[in-house]
């Protein structure tokens, strides 16, 4: 039986910081994109009710890469149009290749969480053909190298807007229960939601955009289980709009936030009722606001640029009795899902949580699964720097991370087989990232104030 209190074993993996006495250096940035759409016929991600493999391509699935460099420190952010990041061994190999070919010591791998991509397998290399993952690994590795080679002196800036394209899909009832609120065609107000559109823009020295990062929280599930064509869902539409509004030069990237309990208004819209049009409406609404914010940002040079990074591993216990959880998964999601859960139980729940600080003023944290939106709000409110971006689905996939209150109320993602870590895990991830930012800012000391007196 896997029970017991949540244990935090914080293992410092990597520290990227300018060494004492190093000469001031500016920020450099490079970007690249590559098509990672796999062959047709593969099983698709998400929706247990979906039958059959992918029959074609509605719009391509992409991997987008941003490389940042300050002094001798290099970081690569990879965002893929997939339901979740690939297997841990896949990420490890990608990091090794980036370190060997481009000297990049920090690689973050995130997914947009589209439910119209291929099913993600836990083994690398996969045991069954076709091995589309190896081809994607090669393409993304090359894109990291391309972005590194293209890097130029960069200016950076941030901006914020607001837009609502979705709702909270867990609706509290007067009797204290929670009901599933999948689709909200009439756009009834719900809570909690986060309408914040956070935008980070990077320009070259001449003011021409290199990349535009759009951070927002909403499930990409306008298409439902009846869709059997690959699609990036609404984020793909939003990014194409941002690219178009700013010209052909920039690389727009979508950073999925704390969308664990947030659905688009037109969620799982039937194909026969023009789901593509609802997808476009949702993406255009977000893309229009993101482009407006991006165009208003005035980027600034960073002659004393810095890049700090930490990745901690939090060792978690299971929320449920392991045997009962596996049996529940077998009944609800089938033997394959139960076998995958059994393998994970043997490996243990090791959760990577990355924290990045750019120029001592822009912070970014990651979670390896599906965080509820209040974790994103909490991070932004408590982070000691003004600009704080939040990424879910990054560097791993450990199910849902509800808040403690949501876990107590129940509902999908809060108290079912899709969440299997202790209910305070998400809050502890946020706390760890906040501690790391304070450390990077030099505000937390490694010895008591009266040490040596």
Residues 407-419: pLDDT tens digits?
999 999 999 888 9
Which position has the higher pLDDT, 91 or 12? 91
pLDDT band at 381 (very low <50, low <70, confident <90, very high): very high
197 part of a folded domain = yes
Q: What pLDDT is recorded for position 183?
A: 98
Residues 140-169: pLDDT tens digits?
999 999 999 999 999 999 999 999 999 999
451 part of a folded domain = no
2 part of a folded domain = no
pLDDT band at 125 (very low <50, low <70, confident <90, very high): confident
Q: What pLDDT is recorded for position 127?
A: 84
d(CA 430, CA 316): 15
| Statement: residue 378 has pLDDT above 70 | yes
372 part of a folded domain = yes
Q: Are 260 and 373 in contact (CB under 8 A)?
A: yes
**DSSP per residue, 305-316:** --EEEEEEEEEE
Looking at the structure of the chain, the number of domains it has is 1
Q: What is the mean pLDDT of residues 271-290?
A: 98
- Cα-Cα-Cα-Cα dihedral of 56, 60, 61, 67, to 10°? 160
22 part of a folded domain = no
449 part of a folded domain = no
| Statement: residue 6 has pLDDT above 50 | no
Q: What pLDDT is recorded for position 248?
A: 66
Residues 335-366: pLDDT tens digits?
777 677 777 766 778 999 999 999 999 999 99
Q: What is the mean pLDDT of residues 391-407?
A: 96
Q: What pLDDT is recorded for position 327?
A: 76
| Statement: residue 281 has pLDDT above 80 | yes
Residues 31-81: pLDDT tens digits?
999 999 999 999 999 998 898 999 999 999 999 999 999 998 999 999 999
445 part of a folded domain = no
The structure tokens listed for 176 are 């204290």
Kindly state the percentage of the chain with pLDDT values over 70: 93
| Statement: residue 199 has pLDDT above 60 | yes
d(CA 245, CA 229): 27
Q: What is the extent of the structural domain holding 190? A: 27-440
d(CA 157, CA 159): 7
Burial of 388 (0-12, 13-18, 19+ CB in 10 A): buried
| Angle subtended by helix axes 275-296 and 233-245, to nearest 10 | 40
16 part of a folded domain = no
115-119, 253-257, 315-319: range with lowest mean pLDDT: 315-319
């Amino acid at each position: 039986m896997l029970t017991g209190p949540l244990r935090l074993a914080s293992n410092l993996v990597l520290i990227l910081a300018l060494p004492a006495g190093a000469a001031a250096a500016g920020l450099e940035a490079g970007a690249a994109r590559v098509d990672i759409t796999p062959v047709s016929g593969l099983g698709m991600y998400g929706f247990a009710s979906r039958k059959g493999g992918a029959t074609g391509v509605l719009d391509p699935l992409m991997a987008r890469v941003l490389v940042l460099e300050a002094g001798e420190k290099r970081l690569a952010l990879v965002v893929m149009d997939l339901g979740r990041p690939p297997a841990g061994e896949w990420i490890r190999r990608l990091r090794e290749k980036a370190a060997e070919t481009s000297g990049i010591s920090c690689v973050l791998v995130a997914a947009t969480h589209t439910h119209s991509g291929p099913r993600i397998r836990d083994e690398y290399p996969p045991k069954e053909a076709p091995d589309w993952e190896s081809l994607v690994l090669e393409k993304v590795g090359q894109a990291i190298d391309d972005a590194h080679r293209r890097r130029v002196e960069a200016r950076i800036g941030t901006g914020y807007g607001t837009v609502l394209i979705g709702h909270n899909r867990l609706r509290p009832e007067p009797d204290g229960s929670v009901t599933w609120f999948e689709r909200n065609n009439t756009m009834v107000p719900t809570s909690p939601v986060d309408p914040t559109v956070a935008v980070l823009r990077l320009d070259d020295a001449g003011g021409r955009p290199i990349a535009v990062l759009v951070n927002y929280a909403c499930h990409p599930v306008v298409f439902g289980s009846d869709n059997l064509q690959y699609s990036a869902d609404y984020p793909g539409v939003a990014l194409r709009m941002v690219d178009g509004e700013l010209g052909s030069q920039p690389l727009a990237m979508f950073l999925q936030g704390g969308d664990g309990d947030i659905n688009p208004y037109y969620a799982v819209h039937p194909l026969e009722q023009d789901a593509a049009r609802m997808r476009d409406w949702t993406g255009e609404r977000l893309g229009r606001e993101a482009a407006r914010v991006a165009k208003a940002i005035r980027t600034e040079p960073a002659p004393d640029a810095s890049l700090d990074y930490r990745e901690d591993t939090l060792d978690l216990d299971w929320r449920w009795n392991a045997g009962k959880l596996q049996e529940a998964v077998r009944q609800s999601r089938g033997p394959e899902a139960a076998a995958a859960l059994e393998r994970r139980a043997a490996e243990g729940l090791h959760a990577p949580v990355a924290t990045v600080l750019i120029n001592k003023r822009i912070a970014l944290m990651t979670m390896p699964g599906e965080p509820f939106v209040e974790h994103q709000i909490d991070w932004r409110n408590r982070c000691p720097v003004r600009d704080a971006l939040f990424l879910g689905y990054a560097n791993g996939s450990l199910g849902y991370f509800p808040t403690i209150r949501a876990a107590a109320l129940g509902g999908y993602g809060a108290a079912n087989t899709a969440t299997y870590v202790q209910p305070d895990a998400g809050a502890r991830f946020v706390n760890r990232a906040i501690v790391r930012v304070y450390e990077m800012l030099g505000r937390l000391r490694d010895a008591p104030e009266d040490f040596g007196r």
